[in-house]
Amino acid sequence: MKKVIVLPCSGIGKPAGEIGRQAAYTLADQLRPEQCVRICLARLMIDEPDSVSLVRDNLVITLDGCPEDCARKNVERIKNKVNHAFHVTDFMNQFPELKPEGILNLGEDGSHLATRLAEHLAAEVDRLTGEGA
């Protein structure tokens, strides 16, 4: 069975990047540990063989925190297609009442956003794999 590779951007200095990373950890470690594998963008950027193989041979969800789309672009460089490219800021805009406090400490609202995003992504994993949770 193919895995779903979850690739968040590095997003240093951006709350959306941190929300995406926290959501990726929650998704891969708690919500869908049997289906998901989280990988590091930096390893993909340097063509680390294990990361390249994982991306090439499996389904991929990217989480980008800004319009640069670094995660998506690096996957497309390797396999031309991302199964689901996700913009964290678009998701955040759906919940204007939830405001992250900062980058290193997202606060309660930022943590809620990360949890909601992980739950949303779990449904996307189920759709991609044809499984119901």
Q: 17-63 pLDDT, tens per residue?
A: 999 999 999 999 999 999 999 999 999 999 999 999 999 999 999 99
Which pLDDT does position 132 carry in this prediction?
A: 61
Which pLDDT does position 103 carry in this prediction?
A: 80
How confident is residue 84, by pLDDT bands cut at 50, 70 and 90?
very high
Tokens of 119: 């739950």
For 84-105, letters b (16+ CB in 10 Å) and e give bbbbbbebbeeeeebebeebee
Residue 14: pLDDT above 90? no
Give the mean pLDDT of the chain.
94
Q: Is 25 exposed, middle or buried (0-12, 13-18, 19+ CB in 10 A)?
A: middle
| pTM (2 d.p.) | 0.92
How confident is residue 68, by pLDDT bands cut at 50, 70 and 90?
very high
Query: Distance between CA 23 and CA 36 in Å, rounded?
Result: 12
Tokens of 45: 């950027």
Which pLDDT does position 28 carry in this prediction?
A: 98
Which pLDDT does position 133 carry in this prediction?
A: 46
